[in-house]
Structure 1
Amino acid sequence: MTSSSSANTTKGSTLDRVLQVLAIVAHSRGQLNRESIAEQLSMPIASANKLINQLIVLGHLQENIIGRVIAGPNLQSLSHDILKNQRFSEQRTSVLQRLADTIGETCGISVPNGIEMIYFERVNCNWPLQINLAEGSPVPIAASASGKLYLASLDTSIRENVLQHMGLTEYTPKTITNDGLFLEELSRIAEQGFGEDNEEFVDGMVAISVPIGSGALSFGYLFCHAPSFRTSLDQLKTHLPELRSAAQEILEFTLGELKTE
């Protein structure tokens, strides 16, 4: 018969494993498969598979089209709710509002979600005519400034795998649909350090994006988009210093909040 203390220890160990798996997936940015997670946990692959399967059934994890383990809908929703309720949310909104006022166009934050990007937070410009993509809206990862910047941050082999399984959808006449040209575009974006969308997702919309953090310490992407008749892509690029400064400010708020948790 199992003692109460032994049962509690087992439950604690299982909970620890669950939290470890979720932490590893959250930090891996979609680059780990089941075997890699088992290796990081020093667990037999059969045990890791069982735990991962349970978390997939519960909606906390999912596997993408190339077999990498990523956050599931429940975990994504929870993480977004946590970010929304953090004490620095008003400061973050203030930074976005100041940036939107300075540039005169809509600014926001997007986060990767499988093969899409999610508009996590945004502040609209004051122009009567706006391109309204509401908070929570999914945008294609291969045709958006933030999405291309995210893909460009991945290893070259992973970019190729993602592209092979994802394919390229044409949204406008300017969408890049040739695999070779798209990989060249990602290499160029990786080198320049910012993403750009030249009317590739929405006809008549241009956008730029910079990372909030870098490497494993990434909290999403700060973007700015505008109608091309009012602001050209080259004009938006002149505001990259302001975007990078705002991204650094948001990063510092985020790190400060995490240290107090």
Structure 2
Amino acid sequence: MSSAAQPGPRELSADPLSGETPALRLFALMELIGGKDHFVTLQALVEETGLPKPTVHRMLQQLETAGLLARQADGRHYGTGARLRTFAETLMLNTMQFGARHAVLRHLAAETGETCNITALSGDEVVYLDRVETDEPLRVQLGPGSRVPMHASASGKRVLAQLSSAQRHRLLGHAPLARLTPHTITSIEELDAELDTIAEQGYAIDDEEYLPGLVCIAVLVPSEGERSNLCVATQAPVLRIDRSSATTLLPALRKAASALADIEREGNR
């Protein structure tokens, strides 16, 4: 290829799939798709990237074959695949900032006297990235890597509260919301109202919605981006903390969330 055909620096930086190798361009396509809150079509990607349709189609096929992307039932829309989601979770569980994050969580557990978690949304579930158990004999054990439904957890509801009603319905509206306890919210309309309240007050409470007798309160870890996918939470049996008294833990939770945000920022430099 002649030098005249090579893209200049301006063209390269404007290309959303810029990369010096085919592998990097595939990675850029995964980044592009992974950064969206909806499934995408081949035509939409062609229009967004400006690349020839056969090129984008070939890249999608390669990523789908590798399990990094998944084609939806209609055969036209693409989203992240199981392998890519597993990779993302592994990175979150084994990040270099783990030691510093764990120290913050350990301090929070000592301050509150209760079990504390760092969680993130993965698909339609909340995954526990780290956890420090209370010394109290009465407790519920859910180790790192455990998953809970987002509609029935404080962390899941706090992350969902950042989304618009339409985005929530896209995420939750394809299957019934499982009733796990008599307190679980199983109506999309009721959950919408709950999430609007959570967005206003800045915290979420799981009031025996996941497990009978267990109360949890969660706040977001501040993010430099538009939305945060990370929460810090404290949970305890209802014998020690109820919905009302859980709010007394907010100052400690928010201080921990701020410290975790500092760690995330330092790790991204």
TM-score (normalised: structure 2): 0.81
Aligned residue runs from structure 1 range 4-153, under 5 A: 12-28=20-36, 30-31=37-38, 33-34=40-41, 37-44=45-52, 47-62=55-70, 71-153=80-162
Distance in 2 between the 1:99 and 1:65 partners?
A: 44
1:218 aligned counterpart, secondary structure: coil
The structure whose Rg is larger is: 2
Given that residues 146 and 210 in structure 1 are in contact (C-alpha distance below 8 angstroms), is that contact kept between their aligned partners in structure 2?
Answer: yes
Distance in 1 between the 2:226 and 2:108 partners?
A: 26
2:267 is matched with: 257
Given that residues 118 and 139 in structure 1 are in contact (C-alpha distance below 8 angstroms), is that contact kept between their aligned partners in structure 2?
Answer: yes
Of the three residues 233, 236, 242, the one matched with 1:223 is 233
Distance in 2 between the 1:45 and 1:190 partners?
A: 41
2:201 is matched with: 192
Residue 218 of structure 1 deviates from its aligned partner by 2.6
2:13 is matched with: none
2:65 maps to amino acid: V
Residue segments in structure 2 that go unaligned for 5+ positions in a row:
1-5, 7-18
Q: CA RMSD in A?
A: 2.9
Residue 164 of structure 1 deviates from its aligned partner by 2.0
Number of aligned positions between the proteins? 251
Distance in 1 between the 2:131 and 2:72 partners?
A: 27
Residues 158-210 of structure 1: CA distance to partner in whole angstroms, max 9, x if unpaired?
11222321321100001111222111111111222222111111111111111
Residue segments in structure 1 that go unaligned for 5+ positions in a row:
1-5
1:131 aligned counterpart, secondary structure: coil
1:109 aligned counterpart, secondary structure: strand
2:211 is matched with: 202
Of the three residues 246, 249, 257, the one matched with 1:239 is 249
Residue 40 of structure 1 deviates from its aligned partner by 4.1
Residues 14-71 of structure 1: CA distance to partner in whole angstroms, max 9, x if unpaired?
222222123234443x345346555443335664454334323323234689998654
2:253 maps to amino acid: L
Residue 79 of structure 1 deviates from its aligned partner by 3.1
Specify whether residues 162 and 103 from structure 1 end up closer, same or farther in structure 2 by C-alpha distance, changes over 3 A only. Answer: same
Specify whether residues 163 and 96 from structure 1 end up closer, same or farther in structure 2 by C-alpha distance, changes over 3 A only. Answer: same
